[in-house]
């Protein structure tokens, strides 16, 4: 990990650059919730959280800011960002999940951003999004049990770390084909994300074995559908789809039922990399408090996706974090107001 961090630190990030990480201690910080914090960082990694600054180490004053682990965006399209995904990291995003791209994107290098990708949708012939915004390169088509299993196997072999399907937006796969698809994905250790914006599509996706909703559905969910998603997950993407009262209510009810809520922006549909303040405002309006929002942006997706060394600022974690002016547990909007960003143990110049 350390050699990777050192290599990443030499890369330009969003028109700025990172200095080579050094052994530093940052004092005068606070954690979300208000506890005092000192961070000792060496070669891009948090190596200590001492009670006082150790001797012989360069001291940086954090100015009383709150240190928040780098944010994880669980719904992006890196190939669609106009200025390239590097800007995402410069804004404090440490990891991302790419939920649809051409197959070639699975081999892309987006360091220092950690990321996993689904590659193209698995969809029916003529299915979403192959005849709309995505075109043929954004879909692998299949039409029966065998061809859907083959499609999943091919994507897994090309490096896909999850599978994305669509329902309710055009020609759909049969229930048997969907079940075969999810069975093959799960046998390979891959989660299945469903683009399912209606109640019927969300219910069918869960019945077929999908693990997560790629978006908050846009129409009201029935009690049965909400209950079916107990133990599943939903990616927020409220801002990108209008954040209606029905969507906000769906988030609240899914969360109350036991589904995990993960922060996602649908970056690529939206074009401004970084922490989305409007998404945070809509999560607040959906009933999440500041602590739940911080968790949905950091520790919860880190565990859910298996990202290593991110999601918290424990000893051994990657030293990528935001410095924000207010306690995000009390003022979650502060998460979009970073005064400085550190990536892999070095401050981003100009942040």
The per-residue pLDDT for range 253-289, each reduced to its tens digit, is: 999 999 999 999 999 888 887 899 999 999 999 999 9
Of the listed ranges 101-115, 197-211, 233-247, 282-296, the one predicted with least confidence? 101-115
- Are both 106 and 175 inside the same structural domain? yes
Q: Is the pLDDT of residue 5 over 50?
A: no
Query: Same domain, yes or no, for 117 and 18?
Result: no
36 and 98 in a single domain? The answer is: no
Q: What's the confidence (pLDDT) of residue 350? A: 60
CATH of the domain at 7: 2.30.40.10
Interhelix angle 145-157/175-187, rounded to 10 degrees, is 30
| 76/225 same-domain check | yes
pLDDT surpasses 70 at 4: no
Query: Are 114 and 262 part of one and the same domain?
Result: yes
The domain tally of the chain equals: 2
323 near 62, Cβ under 8 Å?
Answer: yes
Residue 15, pLDDT > 50, answer no
Written as six digits, the tokens of 180 are 């075969």
Q: Is 302 a residue whose pLDDT tops 80?
A: yes
What's the token pair of residue 24? Answer: 């530093």
Confidence of residue 123 (pLDDT cuts 50, 70, 90): very high
Same domain, yes or no, for 210 and 293? yes
Positive or negative CA dihedral for 86, 302, 235, 194? positive
Residues 112, 196: one domain?
yes
Whether the per-residue pLDDT at 346 is higher than 50: the answer is yes
Q: To the nearest 10°, report the CA torsion of 282, 284, 286, 289.
A: 150
Domain that holds residue 182: 71-305
CATH number of the domain bearing residue 176: 3.20.20.140
Q: Where are the alpha helices (DSSP H) in 60-192?
A: 86-90, 145-157, 175-187
Same domain, 79 and 224: yes
Phi, psi of 240 (to 5 degrees): -65, -25
Mean pLDDT over the full length of the chain:
92
Do 193 and 315 fall into the same domain? no
Question: What's the CA angle centered on 166, arms 118 and 113, to 5 degrees?
Answer: 25
d(CA 75, CA 194): 12
**pLDDT at position 168 over 50:** yes
Among candidate residues 305, 320, 338, the one where a domain is terminated = 305
- What residue spans of 213-298 are helical by DSSP H? 223-228, 245-257, 277-285, 290-297
What is the tens place of the pLDDT at every residue in 54-93? Answer: 999 999 999 999 999 999 999 999 998 876 556 666 678 8
Q: How far apart are CA 188 and CA 127, in angstroms?
A: 24
φ/ψ (deg, to 5) at 249: -65, -40
**Same structural domain for residues 316 and 298?**
no
Nearest 5°: the CA angle 181, 185, 191 is 115
| Location of structure tokens 């649908």 | 266
Q: Is the pLDDT of residue 16 over 80?
A: no
- Measured between alpha carbons, how far is 210 from 232 in angstroms, rounded to an integer? 8
Q: Are 287 and 157 in a shared domain?
A: yes
Reported as a pLDDT band with limits 50, 70 and 90, residue 2 is: very low
With CA atoms as reference, report the closest residue to 32 among 313, 256, 286, 307: 313
247 and 115, same structural domain? yes
């Amino acid at each position: 990990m350390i050699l990777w961090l050192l290599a990443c630190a030499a890369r330009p990030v969003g028109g700025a650059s990172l200095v080579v990480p050094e052994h530093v201690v940052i004092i005068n910080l606070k954690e979300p919730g208000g506890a005092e914090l000192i961070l000792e960082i060496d070669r891009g990694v948090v190596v200590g959280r001492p009670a006082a600054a150790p001797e012989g180490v360069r001291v940086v004053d954090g100015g009383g800011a709150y240190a928040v682990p780098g944010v994880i965006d669980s719904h992006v399209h890196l190939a669609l960002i106009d200025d390239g995904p590097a800007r995402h990291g410069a804004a404090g995003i440490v990891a991302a999940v790419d939920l649809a791209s051409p197959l070639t994107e699975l081999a892309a290098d987006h360091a220092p951003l950690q990321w996993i990708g689904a590659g193209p949708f698995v969809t029916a012939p003529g299915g979403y999004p192959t005849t709309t915004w995505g075109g043929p390169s954004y879909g692998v088509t299949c039409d029966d049990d065998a061809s859907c299993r083959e499609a999943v196997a091919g994507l897994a072999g090309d490096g896909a770390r999850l599978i994305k399907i669509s329902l309710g937006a055009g020609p759909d796969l049969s229930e048997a084909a969907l079940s075969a698809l999810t069975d093959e994905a799960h046998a390979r250790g891959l989660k299945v994300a469903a683009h399912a914006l209606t109640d019927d599509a969300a219910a069918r996706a869960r019945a077929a074995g999908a693990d997560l909703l790629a978006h908050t559905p846009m129409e009201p969910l029935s009690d049965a559908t909400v209950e079916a998603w107990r133990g599943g997950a939903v990616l927020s993407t409220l801002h990108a789809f209008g954040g209606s009262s029905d969507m906000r209510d769906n988030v609240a009810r899914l969360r109350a039922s036991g589904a995990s809520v993960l922060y996602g922006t649908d970056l690529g549909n939206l074009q401004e990399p970084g922490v989305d303040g409007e998404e945070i405002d809509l999560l607040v309006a959906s009933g999440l408090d500041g602590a739940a929002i911080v968790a949905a942006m950091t520790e919860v997706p880190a565990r859910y996706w298996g990202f290593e060394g991110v999601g918290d600022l424990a000893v051994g974690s990657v030293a990528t974090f935001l410095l924000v002016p207010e306690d995000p547990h009390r003022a979650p909007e502060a998460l979009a107001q970073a005064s400085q960003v550190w990536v892999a143990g070095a401050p981003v110049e100009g942040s």
